[in-house]
Structure 1
Amino acid sequence: MADGTTGQGVSIGVPIGAGIVCALVGFTSSFAVVLAGLRAAGADAGQAASGLLAVSVAMGAATVLLSWRFRMPITSAWSTPGAALLVTTGAVGGGWAAAVGAFVCCGVLLVVTGLWPSLAALVARIPTPVAQAMLAGVLLPLCVEPLRGLVADPVAVAPVLVVWLVLLKVRPRWAVPAAFAAALVVIVVAIVRDGSGPALGDLVPTLTFTAPSLTVSALTGVAIPLYLVTMAAQNIPGVAVMAGYDYRVPWRPALTVTGVGSIVAAVFGGHAINLAAISAALAAAPEADPDHRRRWVAGFTAGVTYLVLGLGSAGLVAVIVAAPDGVVQAVAGVALVGAFAGACAGAMGDADGRIPAAATFVVAASGVSVVGIGSAFWALVVGVVMWTLGVGRVRAQA
């Protein structure tokens, strides 16, 4: 229309604004977790910056393509639980190249899932309490980092936590982005105080290719758990969130696009992309546009914004490298508290599954590695076996 409004009198700027907010919240709320995961898996600062740029571009492109093609606000995101898993798993046997190989394998599994729905059905058969307990165990080590940082350097970490708590009360959606903003202030003060800022060349976004290699420990300890946690904690809930707003996500194209995006991003250091879950509501809810048919504009805009934000990946890494110890970990920790709470609730909600879920949680949180395979894999094995055997099941009293 000539006045720039929809047929219902709503400005086209409303869904555009919703898309920008969706991307800003999604990016600033969890990029610190992604960087922590890539560094823990063996990436140096340049490779981590490349990985962040790669997944930003991949999820931006996937969001633009899916939203435009299907006229739905289908938003993609990087696998935040997957990045947390990388932190828990630590260095991969075979080095960074093996980690990249595991990322490629995860992307291949996502594509196969899109083309072969029976695989998705098999993943969905993993008992929910077990899957959620594994996720909670993976997230716990990161969630306690803000406390460790507060004890080690209260002057640097306390402002981050105070801002997060205040915004959590008054504007929950912006609590983590505000904590990130507070962290930036702390980092800038530290850089000015020490007189050691990033060089101009460090701010230029660059993709760094890594030839993937594959080891058994990387496949079982990283690729498979990364695939499972991405499916169970992101893709399957993401479809459910969209269904709640009366959108039927086309499963095969969505998984194929995000899987191919994951493979392409992997060789540049990106771990995985998937359907957005929590942040999906920001583009799909009525607040994005009262007209159900026009909310795809919010999704499209979110994708474009992700592409733009990716250009700042190198600068973010350069700033974070200069951060005082504990500050970035604090941001990553508070970003995952909500996910941890949700995973705990899902794990312990079923009385019959509490014992298998508790065992799964303990094994996953332990961080132990057996024969080169990380704790997340063993946690899933323990939980599924105990669930199958009916261990701890509550029986009706005669």
Structure 2
Amino acid sequence: MPETAPLSRPILAGVVTALVGFTSSFAVVLAGLDAMGATAAEAASGLLAVTVTMGIACVVLAWRYRMPITVAWSTPGAALLASTGAIEGGWPAAVGAFLVTAALILLTALWPALGALIARIPPSIAQAMLAGVLLPLCLAPITGVVANPWGVVPVVLTWLVFARLAPRWAVPFAFLAAAAVVAVTLVAEGDAVDPAVLLPRVELTAPVFTVGALVGVALPLFIVTMASQNVPGIAIMRSFGYEVPWRPAMLVTGLGTALGATAGGHAINLAAISAALAASPDADPDARRRWVAGVSTGVSYLVLGGFSAAFATLVVLAPEAVIPAVAGLALFAAFGSAVQQAIDDPGERLPAVVTFLVAASGIAVLGVSAAFWALVAGLLVRTVLHAFHR
């Protein structure tokens, strides 16, 4: 018989999952939306949209299937947006790209062949593209130390200490250090915050559909979300003995992405790294009760959504380089994992290097972002090399 633990244990595990997931990467989400051309109010609305939709998705999937299924925003997708920058058509075109991404996720649920097509992209190429996208953001803590040492050094040192003592909490505590830096700066400068900006609000944007946004944003966002979040999320849940229903999961996350898009939400998906916090035996020794952690995660996200405007305001008020440093630190683990998977196979190393370099270059050709051209270049090099090896 499995050990019986208080019901408060999986509930607490869900709260921890939400806190770690939110505080570890909300700065990346805001950076991505800002780079796409969102105003401060529109970015705050986007953060609210993804937080609420993934909270609802957690509750629906965990309650319906009695599994600790958790949903998260696409952190790699947000990093992709941040590295892509402004596109032709501006923020409305970005919103249109988010809706197309939602349609592609829904199509994956309804047409399994699309999922199979994405699965045929070599993991080394997909991960190399992700690594190239993450590189500029991961450099922010380093450049920030030079640009604003008094603001960034305390953040980096806090992260380093907790990376040794409590790795799970390293980035959340780095964020707390950043919040302390912001508070000290506001007090020193005598600035006051208008309470009205701390209240969450929805800013709707009419979408505009452009070829550049479709090819340069929607398609790479969909691929990164599938390859770096949904597929690993399924694998992690399977490692704990849970077989996540693919079609319902894609339907729920696709609908959630569609509902949040016009409010500025970029994409939600199955949780990957944070999934283990709710699905492991630490959440509850009895695997049959861990679904409570999934529901608790969702409810906690809904509560955090109420503070989305406050978090966005904190980012706006932060001194130079402080918040980008937190965002970069949050992506270190993802960058390291992507690099490792990209070059793990010696036979795939050269195409992966080409993919990585094109993605990291940040080039935009014909209004299409570097992420797309990185995939094209990597697959082309791989095809040529494999053709000559036959």
TM-score category of the 2 structures, normalised to the smaller one: over 0.9
Residue 220 of structure 2 corresponds to residue 225 of structure 1: yes
Q: 1:170 aligns with which of 165, 174, 178?
A: 165
> 2: distance between equivalents of 1:8 and 1:150?
48
| SS across alignment from 2:272 | coil
Residue 332 of structure 2 corresponds to residue 347 of structure 1: no
Q: Deviation digits for residues 55-85 of structure 1, max 9, x if unmatched?
A: 0000000000000000001100000000000
Equivalence for 2:292? 297
Which amino acid in 2 is paired with 1:141? Answer: P
For 1:165-204, what aligned pairs fall within 5 Å after superposition? 165-204=160-199
* TM-score scaled by length of structure 2: 0.98
Q: CA deviation at 1:394?
A: 8.3
Equivalence for 2:35? 40
Shift of the 394–154 alpha-carbon distance from structure 1 to 2, 3 Å rule, reads: farther
Q: Deviation digits for residues 266-322 of structure 1, max 9, x if unmatched?
A: 000000000000000000001000101100000100000000001101011112111
Q: 2:94 aligns with which of 91, 96, 99?
A: 99
For 1:142-157, what aligned pairs fall within 5 Å after superposition? 142-157=137-152
Equivalence for 1:240? 235
Paired residues of 2:197 and 2:310 also in contact (CA < 8 A): yes
Runs of 4+ with >6 A deviation = 392-395
Q: CA deviation at 1:7?
A: 8.0
> 2: distance between equivalents of 1:26 and 1:236?
18
Equivalence for 2:357? 362
Paired residues of 1:242 and 1:281 also in contact (CA < 8 A): yes
Equivalence for 1:333? 328
| SS across alignment from 1:286 | coil
Q: Deviation digits for residues 3-23 of structure 1, max 9, x if unmatched?
A: xxx984310011001000000
Q: 2:59 aligns with which of 56, 61, 64?
A: 64
| SS across alignment from 1:274 | strand
| SS across alignment from 2:285 | coil
> 1: distance between equivalents of 2:344 and 2:389?
13
Q: Deviation digits for residues 323-374 of structure 1, max 9, x if unmatched?
A: 0010000000000000000000000000000000000000000000000000
Equivalence for 1:129? 124
Equivalence for 1:284? 279
> 1: distance between equivalents of 2:87 and 2:305?
26
Equivalence for 1:375? 370
> 1: distance between equivalents of 2:385 and 2:309?
50
Which amino acid in 2 is paired with 1:78? Answer: W
For 1:257-276, what aligned pairs fall within 5 Å after superposition? 257-276=252-271
Further displaced range: 311-320 or 296-305: 311-320
Q: Deviation digits for residues 214-256 of structure 1, max 9, x if unmatched?
A: 0111101100000000001000110001010010000000001
Q: 2:248 aligns with which of 231, 245, 253?
A: 253
Q: CA deviation at 1:212?
A: 0.5
| SS across alignment from 2:241 | coil
Which amino acid in 2 is paired with 1:301? Answer: S
| SS across alignment from 1:77 | strand
Q: CA deviation at 1:259?
A: 0.4
Please list every run of 5 or more consecutive structure 2 residues that lacks an aligned counterpart in the other structure.
Answer: none
Q: CA deviation at 1:388?
A: 2.0
| SS across alignment from 2:94 | helix
> 2: distance between equivalents of 1:7 and 1:49?
44
> 1: distance between equivalents of 2:171 and 2:248?
32
Q: 1:88 aligns with which of 77, 83, 86?
A: 83
RMSD, aligned CA: 1.3
> 2: distance between equivalents of 1:302 and 1:283?
8
Q: Taking every aligned residue pair, what percent have the same amino acid on both sides?
A: 58
| SS across alignment from 2:21 | helix
> 2: distance between equivalents of 1:332 and 1:81?
12
Paired residues of 2:126 and 2:227 also in contact (CA < 8 A): yes
| SS across alignment from 1:69 | helix
> 2: distance between equivalents of 1:19 and 1:149?
33
| SS across alignment from 2:86 | coil
| SS across alignment from 1:189 | helix
Paired residues of 2:23 and 2:172 also in contact (CA < 8 A): yes
> 2: distance between equivalents of 1:236 and 1:274?
10
Equivalence for 1:214? 209
Shift of the 387–155 alpha-carbon distance from structure 1 to 2, 3 Å rule, reads: same
Q: CA deviation at 1:167?
A: 0.4
Shift of the 9–358 alpha-carbon distance from structure 1 to 2, 3 Å rule, reads: same
Which amino acid in 1 is paired with 2:56? Answer: A
Paired residues of 1:57 and 1:307 also in contact (CA < 8 A): yes
Shift of the 152–391 alpha-carbon distance from structure 1 to 2, 3 Å rule, reads: farther
Paired residues of 1:75 and 1:276 also in contact (CA < 8 A): yes
Which amino acid in 1 is paired with 2:205? Answer: T
Q: 1:26 aligns with which of 4, 10, 21?
A: 21
Paired residues of 2:132 and 2:358 also in contact (CA < 8 A): yes
| SS across alignment from 1:42 | coil
> 1: distance between equivalents of 2:308 and 2:209?
27
> 1: distance between equivalents of 2:209 and 2:191?
38
* TM-score scaled by length of structure 1: 0.96
